[in-house]
């Protein structure tokens, strides 16, 4: 059986960042990922912009909210000739970094190679062995069959908190009262000329028309969200939502079927309503539907809406949350509530530690948060921040918080 200092499960942004943090701390580190590529929702569900890397700002200069692993990944993307210059939404003041999925996958491979870690693709964590308040081993379903790995510490960066759930940490779905942020399926569209401008009012009217008799009506009657995909003339379009009341395979199956059918219909609406888009076609719905929220497990602490509204800073903070609370409870009509104080709130170390298992850490959207705070901390910029802190904390589990914080900063993290 292979043994590591740190094993990270899940190769989304939280897991990649945790892996880099652990490896930079000198740990022998393994990352396991169920798909054959890294990036999580960015590359498996067409979520093609990093939010939360920068604080919101009315000024024209972005203020960073993360560092360390995010700097390394952005520089690897740049080396591939893709710009990572943040762009400010003039309407909201938010800063975003747009992504091109193939260059992101390669940049993430290279970032991990540079950090000297082992990565195992096609390896899904399917069981966990615990004793005396510790997680000792995880069981992987690999292409060749069962593989067991042991480690001093583990990081659950699966998004869905699979490892913590398998290890028996109490979990709940959504807000605990049956409400989940909806699944959504961003779609990639090709066949557009350079500089194509979409007439939103006209598109909204065409979608409203479609909704009267179409088989797959959309809740995004305002025409949804469009963004450019760098180094191409393609765009991604967020217009398909699916109400979820559970995070089961049956629910996901229904969402996948709905999203595939809706995508064809909406691209036809786009093509037929916009002369500039007459050659538009659906490039991809994404390997899977985007899961905004599923299972939450108990953590030692949880960040709250009140923390974010106050921009609360604290002595046990190890990362920054800087994205507004982006609440999709009313499907198709997201609301944005800004972070108070200086534009960020501290995420305390306790949010990154699973309740009841001393060597299991959490990263990305698995961390402890109340439902409203979750709608902020789940974005990928913040997943970089929590992942980096989590990986370093796992590698240095013996350090007190007073010594851990400077260590995170020495390695480039921003607190
Ligand atoms: C529709 C939609 C739109 C969004 N828009 C934005 C946006 O514009 N900008 C932004 O920054 N954020 C956005 N988000 C939020 C963001 O994409 C996610 O919250 C973020 O990707 C979380 O990162 P993560 O690493 O925690 O998890 P994920 O990205 O979910 O990655 C988890 C990884 O773990 C792997 N995995 C899961 N289970 C196992 C297992 N048992 N064993 C091994 N591997 C496993 C998965 O394959 C995946 O690679 C959006 C989300 C959705 C769904």
**For ligand 1, mutation pick of 42, 227, 380 (most atoms within 8 Å of CB):** 380
Position 263 scores a pLDDT of 98
Q: Which atom of ligand 1 is nearest to the CA of 51?
A: 11
In this structure, what is the dihedral angle of CA atoms 263, 266, 271, 277, given to the nearest 10 degrees? -70
Please tell me the distance from the alpha carbon of residue 155 to that of residue 158, in angstroms, as a whole number.
9
Write the pLDDT tens digit of every residue in 284-315.
999 999 999 999 999 999 999 999 999 999 99
Query: Is the CB of 94 within 6 Å of ligand 1?
Result: no
Position 246 scores a pLDDT of 83
Looking only at Cα atoms, what is the longest distance across the chain? 66
Query: Is the CB of 51 within 6 Å of ligand 1?
Result: yes
Position 247 scores a pLDDT of 84
Query: Is the CB of 15 within 6 Å of ligand 1?
Result: yes
Query: Is the CB of 158 within 6 Å of ligand 1?
Result: yes
Position 59 scores a pLDDT of 66
Write the pLDDT tens digit of every residue in 332-360.
889 999 999 999 999 999 999 999 999 99
Write the pLDDT tens digit of every residue in 210-226.
999 999 999 998 999 99
Confidence band of 363 (pLDDT split at 50, 70, 90): very high
Indicate which residue's Cα is closest to atom 49 of ligand 1: 40
Indicate which residue's Cα is closest to atom 15 of ligand 1: 379
What's the mean pLDDT in 319-327? 96
What is the b/e burial string over 150-181, where b = at least 16 CB atoms within 10 angstroms of the residue's CB?
A: ebbbbbbbbbbbbbbbbbebebebbbeeeebb
Indicate which residue's Cα is closest to atom 4 of ligand 1: 47
Position 121 scores a pLDDT of 98
Position 58 scores a pLDDT of 58
Query: Is the CB of 10 within 6 Å of ligand 1?
Result: yes
Position 143 scores a pLDDT of 96
Query: Is the CB of 157 within 6 Å of ligand 1?
Result: yes
Please tell me the distance from the alpha carbon of residue 227 to that of residue 188, in angstroms, as a whole number.
10
What's the mean pLDDT in 125-149? 97
Position 61 scores a pLDDT of 81
Place of tokens 């800087």: 322
What's the mean pLDDT in 155-178? 95
Specify the range with the lowest mean pLDDT, choosing from 83-92, 120-129, 231-240.
83-92
Query: Is the CB of 76 within 6 Å of ligand 1?
Result: no
The 10 Å Cβ neighbour count of residue 28 is 18
- Reply yes or no on whether the pLDDT at 110 is more than 90: yes
Q: In angstroms, what is the span from residue 40 Cα to ligand 1's centroid?
A: 5
**For ligand 1, mutation pick of 7, 8, 9, 10 (most atoms within 8 Å of CB):** 10
Position 128 scores a pLDDT of 98
Domains (ranges, CATH) in the chain? 2-177+293-410 (3.50.50.60), 183-284 (no CATH)
């Amino acid at each position: 059986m292979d043994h590591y200092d740190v094993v990270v499960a899940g190769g989304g942004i939280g897991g990649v960042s945790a892996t880099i943090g652990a490896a930079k701390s000198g740990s022998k580190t393994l990352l396991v990922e169920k798909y054959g590529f890294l990036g999580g929702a960015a590359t498996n569900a067409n979520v093609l912009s990093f939010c939360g890397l920068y604080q919101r700002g009315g000024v024209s200069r972005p203020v960073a909210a993360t560092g360390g692993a995010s700097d390394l990944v952005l520089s690897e993307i740049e080396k591939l000739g893709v710009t990572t210059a943040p762009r400010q939404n003039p309407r909201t003041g938010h800063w975003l970094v747009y992504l091109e999925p193939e260059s992101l996958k390669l940049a993430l491979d290279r970032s991990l190679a540079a950090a000297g870690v082992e990565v195992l693709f096609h390896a899904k964590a399917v069981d966990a062995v615990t004793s005396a308040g510790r997680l000792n081993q995880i069981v992987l379903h690999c292409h060749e069959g069962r593989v067991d790995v042991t480690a001093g510490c583990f990081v659950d960066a699966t998004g869905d908190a699979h490892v913590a759930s398998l290890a028996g940490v109490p979990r709940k779905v959504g807000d605990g009262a049956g409400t989940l942020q909806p699944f959504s399926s961003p779609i990639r569209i090709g066949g557009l000329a350079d500089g194509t401008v979409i007439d939103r009012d006209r598109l909204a009217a065409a979608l409203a028309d479609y909704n009267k008799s179409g088989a797959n009506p959309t809740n995004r009657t305002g025409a949804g969200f469009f963004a450019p995909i760098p180094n191409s003339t393609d765009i991604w379009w967020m217009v398909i939502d699916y109400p979820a009341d559970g995070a089961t395979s049956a629910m996901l199956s229904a969402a996948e079927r709905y999203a595939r059918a809706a995508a064809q219909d909406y691209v036809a609406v786009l093509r037929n309503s916009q002369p500039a888009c007459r050659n538009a076609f659906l490039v991809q719905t994404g390997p899977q539907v985007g899961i905004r929220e599923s299972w939450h497990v108990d953590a030692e602490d949880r960040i709250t809406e009140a923390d974010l509204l106050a921009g609360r800073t604290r002595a046990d903070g190890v990362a920054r949350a800087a994205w507004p609370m982006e609440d999709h409870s009313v499907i198709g009509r997201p609301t944005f509530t800004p972070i108070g104080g200086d534009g960020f709130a501290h995420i305390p170390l306790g949010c990154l530690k699973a309740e009841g298992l001393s060597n299991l850490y959490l990263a990305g959207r698995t961390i402890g948060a109340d439902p409203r705070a979750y709608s902020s901390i789940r974005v990928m910029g913040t997943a970089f921040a929590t992942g980096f802190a989590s990986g370093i904390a796992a590698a240095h589990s013996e350090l007190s918080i007073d010594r851990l914080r400077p260590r995170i900063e020495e390695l480039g993290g921003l607190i």
